Structure 1
Amino acid sequence: MHRMNALDAGMFFAENGTTPLQIGTVSVFEGPAPEYPELVREIFARLRLAPRCRQRVRTVPFNLAHPVWVDDVHFTMEDHVRHTAVAPPGGPAELHDLASRLLGRRLDLTRSPWEVWLVEGLPDGRWALISKVHHCMVDGIAGIDLLAVLLDTDPDWTPADPHAWTPAPEPSTRAVLRDGLADGLKGFAGQATRLFTPVLRDSVATAKAVPAYASRLLNSGTSSLNGPTVVSRRWSRAHAGMDEIDTIRRAFGGSVNDVALAAAASGFRDLLAARGALTSSSVVRTLVPVSVRSTGERGELSNRVSALLCDLPCGEDDPLRRLQSIRDQMDGLKSSGQAAGADSFVRLAGGAPGLLAAAARTALRLRQPLIHTIVTNVPGPPFPLYSMGRRMLEMDPYIPIAAGLRVSIGVVSYDGGVSFGVTGDHEAVPDLGTLCAGIRDGIDELLKEVPSVPAHWKEDRTSSTREERT
Structure 2
Amino acid sequence: MQRLTGADATFLYTQTPNAHMEIGACIVVDAEALPTGEALLRHTLDWLQPRLHLAPMMRRRLVRVPFQLDHPVWVEDPGFDVEYHVRHVALPAPGTFEQLGDLVGRLMSRRLDHSRPLWELYVIEGLDGGRGATFMKTHHAAVDGVAGFNLLASMVDLAAAAPPPDPPDVQWEPEPIPTDVRLVADATANLARQPLRGLKAARRLARQVADARTKHGSAKVVLGELGAPETRFNGTIGPHRRVRYFDLPLADVKAAKKRSGAKLNDLVLTVVGGGLRRYLERHDELPDAPLIAFVPISGRVPDAGGTDGNQTSMMYVALATDEDDPATRLARIAEASAAAKAVHADLGPSALVDLSALTGPALAAASLRLVDTFRLLERTRLGGNVVVSNIPGPDFPLYTAGARISGLFPMGPIGEGTGLNVTLLSYLDSLGFSVVADRDLVPDLDDLVDDLRAAWKELDSCL
Matched, 1:41 2:77: no
Partner of 2:221: 212
2:379 equivalent to 1:368 = yes
Per-residue CA distance 1:32-55 (angstroms, 9 max, x = gap): 334211211221221111122111
Q: Give percent identity, aligned residues only.
A: 32
- Given that 2:355 and 2:364 are in contact with CA atoms closer than 8 Å, whether structure 1 keeps it comes out as no
* Residue 349 (structure 1) shift: 3.5
Report what 1:346 is aligned to: 353
SS at structure 1 position matched to 2:136:
strand
| Deviation string, structure 1 residues 118-164 (Cα, Å, up to 9, x no partner) | 00011233110011010000000000000000111223233568887
> Matches of 2:406 and 2:395 in 1, distance apart?
12
Cα RMSD over matched residues? 2.5
The equivalent residue for 1:359 is: 367
CA offsets, 1:73-117, max 9 Å, x none? 221112211000012110112111111111221111111110110
Q: Secondary structure at the match of 2:70?
A: coil
TM-score of the two chains, using structure 1 as the length reference: 0.88
Whole-angstrom distance in 2 between the partners of 1:120 and 1:441: 31
Report the alpha carbon displacement of residue 307 of structure 1 after superposing the two structures with TM.
0.9
Which residue of structure 2 aligns with residue 468 of structure 1?
A: none
Residue 124 of structure 2 is aligned to residue 119 of structure 1: yes
Checking the alignment, whether the CA contact within 8 Å between 1:222 and 1:283 is kept in structure 2 is: no
Relative to structure 1, the CA distance from residue 79 to residue 15 in structure 2 (aligned partners, 3 Å threshold; closer, same or farther) is farther
TM-superposed deviation, 1:199: 5.2
In 2, Cα distance between the equivalents of 1:137 and 1:7? 10
Q: Deviations over 1:335-390 (max 9, x none)?
A: 12488377425246424111222233344663234321111111122222101221
User: Are 1:97 and 2:102 matched, yes or no?
Assistant: yes
Q: Is the 8 A contact 1:206 1:345 kept in 2?
A: no
2:313 touches 2:352 (CA, 8 Å); kept in 1?
Answer: no
Amino acid at match of 1:22: E
* CA–CA separation in structure 2 for the residues paired with 1:379 and 1:181: 42
Q: 1:92 to 1:323 in 2, by over 3 A?
A: same
Partner of 1:277: 285
Q: Which letter maps to 2:322?
A: G
Report the Cα offset of residue 68 of structure 1.
0.9
| Residue from 251, 254, 260 that aligns with 1:246 | 254
Check conservation: 1:270, 1:434, Cα contact below 8 A.
no
- C-alpha spacing 1:65/1:339, structure 2 compared with 1 (3 Å): farther
Distance 2:332 2:340 in 1: 12
Query: 1:342/1:10 Cα in 2 relative to 1: closer, same or farther (>3 Å)?
Result: same
Aligned to 2:395: 382
Between 1:329-338 and 1:204-213, the stretch displaced more is 204-213
Q: TM-score, normalised by structure 2?
A: 0.89
Contact 1:213 1:309 in 2 (8 A): no
Amino acid of the residue matched to residue 248 of structure 2?
Answer: A
Q: Does 1:261 align with 2:269?
A: yes
**Structure 2 residue aligned with 1:169:** 176
Distance 1:360 1:44 in 2: 38
The whole-number CA distance in structure 1 between the counterparts of 2:90 and 2:389 is 29
Residue 455 of structure 1: aligned partner:
none
In structure 2, relative to structure 1, the CA distance for the partners of 1:376 and 1:368 (3 Å cut) is farther
Maintained 8 Å contact 1:206/1:342: no
Structure 1: distance between partners of 2:444 and 2:208: 40
1:150 match: secondary structure:
coil
Larger mean CA deviation between 140-149 and 49-58 belongs to 49-58
Change (3 A) 1:120 1:136: same
Match among 73, 79, 90 for residue 85 of structure 1: 90
Residue in 1 aligned with 2:237?
229
CA 1:211–1:433 in structure 2 vs 1: closer, same or farther (change >3 Å)? same
- In structure 2, the partner of 1:203 is 206
State the one-letter code of the partner of 2:427. Answer: Y
The answer to whether structure 1 residue 320 and structure 2 residue 337 are counterparts is no
What is the CA–CA distance in structure 2 between the aligned matches of 1:37 and 1:161, rounded to whole Å? Answer: 21
**How far has the Cα of 1:180 moved from its partner?**
2.8
From 392, 403, 412, the equivalent of 2:405 is 392
Residue 422, structure 1, aligned to residue 435, structure 2: yes
Tell me which residue corresponds to 1:17.
Answer: 17
Separation in 2 of the partners of 1:339 and 1:348? 20
Partners of 1:229 and 1:428 within 8 A in 2: yes
**What amino acid is the match of 1:142?**
A
Seen in structure 2, the aligned counterparts of structure 1 residues 363 and 394 have a Cα distance that, compared at 3 Å, is farther
Q: How many Å separate the matches in 2 of 1:361 and 1:294? A: 32
Inter-partner Cα distance in structure 1 for 2:434 and 2:52:
27
Alpha-carbon distance change, 300 to 335 in structure 1, aligned in 2, over 3 angstroms: same
Counterpart check, 1:181 vs 2:191: no
Query: Using the alignment, how far apart are the partners of 1:312 and 1:90 within structure 2?
Result: 35
The residue number in structure 2 matching 1:6 is 6
Give the AA of the match of 1:383: F
Q: Distance in 1 between matches of 2:258 and 2:166?
A: 47
Residue of structure 2 in register with 1:333 after alignment: 340
**Whole-angstrom distance in 2 between the partners of 1:203 and 1:313:** 31
Alignment partner, residue 216 of structure 2: none
1:229 shift after superposition: 1.7
1:198–1:356 CA distance, 2 compared to 1 (3 A): closer
In structure 2, the residue matched to 1:27 is: 27
Tell me, in whole angstroms, the C-alpha distance in 2 between the residues paired with 1:369 and 1:183: 34
Q: Is the Cα–Cα contact under 8 Å of residues 285 and 312 in structure 1 kept in the other structure?
A: yes
Deviates more, 1:342-351 or 1:73-82: 342-351
Structure 1 269/353 Cα, relative in aligned 2: closer, same or farther at 3 Å?
A: same
Distance (Å, rounded) in 2 between the aligned partners of 1:214 and 1:379:
26
- Aligned partner of 1:466 in structure 2 is none
> How far does residue 422 in structure 1 lie from its aligned partner after superposition?
0.6
Q: How many corresponding residue pairs?
A: 444
Q: Contact conserved, 2:299 with 2:349, CA < 8 A, in 1?
A: no
User: For the Cα contact (< 8 Å) 1:145–1:299, is it kept in 2?
Assistant: no
Query: Any idea what SS the aligned residue of 2:390 has?
Result: strand
Find the residue that maps to 1:436 and give its secondary structure: helix
Task: Give, in whole Å, the separation in 2 of the partners of 1:378 and 1:184.
Answer: 37
Distance 1:257 1:40, change over 3 A: same
**1:213 and 1:338 in contact (8 A); partners too:** no
SS of the aligned residue for 1:216 comes to: coil
Paired with 2:300 and 2:323, the residues of 1 have a C-alpha distance of 34
Deviation, 1:24, is 0.5
